[in-house]
Structure 1
Amino acid sequence: MSAISALPFLKPLHFRPPRSSPGRQRRHTLPASEFRCLTPEDAISVFEIEREAFISVSGDCPLHLDEIRHFLNLCPELSLGWFEEGRLVAFIIGSLWDQERLSQDALTLHKPHGTKVHIHVLAVHRTFRQQGKGFILMWRYLQYLCCLPYVRHATLMCEDFLVPFYSKCGFKALGPCEVTVGSLNFIEMNYAVRGHAFMRRNSGC
C-alpha cells in the first residue's frame, strides 16, 4: 500500500550550497502526507466531505455538523484525519460505548468509561476515492486503537454492500443491528482490539 522512495543523491562533503540573497524568501512546505487526530476546527472540512459522500447515496449523513463538533470536543483522541499538503482528504470519527451491542443511543452518546470504540463514520473526499485510502486509513486507525490501553473492541454498523470492505479490514459480522435510520437497516460488525494486543507490545506504545 505504501510506495518506497529512492534514497536522495548524496552530495560530496566539500559541497556548500550557495548563500541565499538577503531578499530571497525561504520556502515553507506542508507535509506531503500526515495522519493526526481531528480538532473542532476541522469540523467544517469534515462535514463537507461527509455531506458529499453520504447525501448523494442515502439522503442523510451519519453525523451532522453539530454532532461532529460534539464528538470532536468530547473525544478528539478517537478521531483520525488524513491530510495531504494540509488538506483533509479522509477521516474517521469514533466515540466510546459501554454495551455489548449498539443501540439507538450510540448514535449521539459518548460513554467515557466504555471499552468499545463506536466508529460513527469513515469518509473519503470524492477526488481521492478508488485509491485504497479508506482501507489504509482504517488500518492506521485500528493500529492506533491498539495503543490505547482502555480499548478492547471497535464496532460499527454498515449497509450490506459494505460488509466485504470491513471484513477485509478485519471486522467480523455480528448480525443485524438494532439501530435503524429511516428506512435503512444495518449489519453490526466488531473488531477485537484486545485480540491484537501483540501489536501493542511490538509498536512501542
Structure 2
Amino acid sequence: MEPCSSLPPSLGLRSTQKVLGGPPWLRRPLPKVGCPREAPVARMSTQSTHPPKPEAPHLPPAISSCQRRHTLPASEFRCLTPEDAVSAFEIEREAFISVLGVCPLYLDEIRHFLTLCPELSLGWFEEGCLVAFIIGSLWDKDRLMQESLTMHRPGGHIAHLHVLAVHCAFRQQGRGPILLWRYLHHLGSQPAVHRAALMCEDALVPFYERFGFHAMGPCAITVGSLSFTELHCSLQGHPFLRRNSGC
C-alpha cells in the first residue's frame, strides 16, 4: 500500500457516476476504466516512489483557480472531517477505478470512517484544497481479515491503514512518503495505538519496508484476482521518533 487503503463488502465494480459537491476543480468526468493512468500511493497503488523533484511544485491551473484567502495556509496537515469526504473520494476514484476498476473506499465508507474515527486520518491541503490523504481505523485482531475492511473497533490497538491517495496533479513529487512519515508520527502520539497494519501488492512491499513495516505473509483478504501481502509496523521505538527533518 506506495504506501496506505479498505475495500467495501461488495468486491464488484461499483458505479462511477459523478459525485455532486466538492470544489469546482474536482467536478469533472473520469477517464474510462482501463485507460492507463498513474495511480497514487496506496494499498493497491502502482505509483512511482521516486524522490521529489528539486524544483518547487506549482499548482495546476485547475487548482490555482481556487481563490486563496488570507486565512488559508499555503500548506497544511490536519485530520479529515466528514465534510472532506467528497474531495477525498474524487481523488481516490480517479486513481483507482481507472487502473483497477475498484476503490479501497467508496464515498459511504469514507464518510463512515471520518465520522467514527477522524483522528485516524490525515490530509494534506494546499491553499485549502485537499491534495493527498490517509484514512485508517482501529482493529483488534492479530491479522487483518475481511471484516477489517469496513469496521472500526474502538478497543483495538492496531491502526489499519485503508488508503493513501495523492491527487494526480501532485504525484511524482515525493508527497506520499512525506505524508506517510507524518501519519506514523501522528499515530505515535496516540497511546492506544501500538501498531500500524496495511495490505499492499507485492511490488510495493519494499517501499513500506523503508518506513519500518515488516511483511507478515499473504493477507487473508483477496479482491477478485488481486492478492496482497500484509505488513505491520510497531510504533514503539519506530525510527520516526528519532527523525529530525522538515517532513
TM-score interval, normalised by the smaller of the two chains = 0.7 to 0.9
1:169 is paired with a residue whose SS is coil
Instruction: Indicate if the aligned counterparts of 2:181 and 2:240 stay in contact, CA closer than 8 A.
Output: no
Larger radius of gyration: 1
Contact 1:151–1:194 (8 Å) recurs in 2: no
Q: What CA distance in whole angstroms lies between the structure 2 residues aligned with 1:35 and 1:190?
A: 24
Residue equivalent to 1:135: 177
- Distance change (3 Å), C-alpha of 1:197 and 1:160: closer
Q: Distance in 2 between matches of 1:28 and 1:198?
A: 32
CA–CA distance in structure 2, aligned partners of residues 198 and 121 of structure 1: 20
1:197 is displaced (CA, Å) by 9.4
Task: Please list every run of 5 or more consecutive structure 1 residues that lacks an aligned counterpart in the other structure.
Answer: 4-26
TM-score scaled by structure 1? 0.82
Report if the CA contact (8 A) 1:174-1:189 is conserved.
yes
Aligned match of 2:106: 64
1:12 corresponding residue in structure 2: none
Matched residues in 2 for 1:117 and 1:192: separation? Answer: 10
Question: Aligned with 1:148: secondary structure?
Answer: coil
Hey, what's the Cα distance between the residues in 2 that align with 1:186 and 1:38? 27
8 Å CA contact retained: 1:159, 1:187: yes
Identity %: 70
Are 1:172 and 2:214 matched, yes or no? yes
- Whether 1:94 aligns to 2:94 is no
Tell me what 2:121 maps to.
79
Q: Which residue of structure 2 aligns with residue 161 of structure 1?
A: 203
Residue type of the partner of 1:55? I
For the aligned residue pairs, the C-alpha RMSD in angstroms reads 2.0
Q: Name the residue aligned to 1:185.
A: 227
Give the secondary-structure state (helix, strand or coil) at the position aligned to 1:140. Answer: helix
Q: 2:146 aligns with which of 81, 104, 129?
A: 104
Rounded Cα–Cα distance in structure 2 between residues aligned with 1:78 and 1:71: 9
**Residue 30 of structure 1: how far off its partner (Å):** 1.7
Unaligned runs of 5+ in 2: 1-50, 55-68
1:138 maps to amino acid: L
Q: Which TM-score applies when normalising by structure 2?
A: 0.69
Aligned pairs, how many? 178
Cα deviation, residue 182, structure 1:
1.4
- Counting strand residues as a fraction of each chain, which structure ranks higher? 1
What does the per-residue CA deviation read over 1:42-82, in whole Å, with 9 as the maximum and x for residues that have no partner? 00000000001111221100001000000000000000000
Distance in 1 (alpha carbons) for counterparts of 2:116 and 2:102: 23
Matched residue SS, 1:38: coil
Corresponding position of 1:146:
188
Q: Considering Cα pairs closer than 8 Å and 6+ residues apart, tell me whether 1 or 2 has the greater RCO.
A: 2
Partners of 2:239 and 2:169 in 1: CA distance: 35
Q: 1:181: Cα distance to partner?
A: 1.1
Partner SS state of residue 163, structure 1: helix
Alignment deviations for residues 142-170 of structure 1 (CA, whole Å, 9 cap, x no partner)? 01111000110000000111112111222
1:196 deviates by 2.9
Maintained 8 Å contact 2:184/2:240: no
Contact 1:146 1:197 in 2 (8 A): no
| Residue in structure 1 matched with residue 37 of structure 2 by the alignment | none
Q: Which residue of 82, 97, 106 maps to 1:55?
A: 97
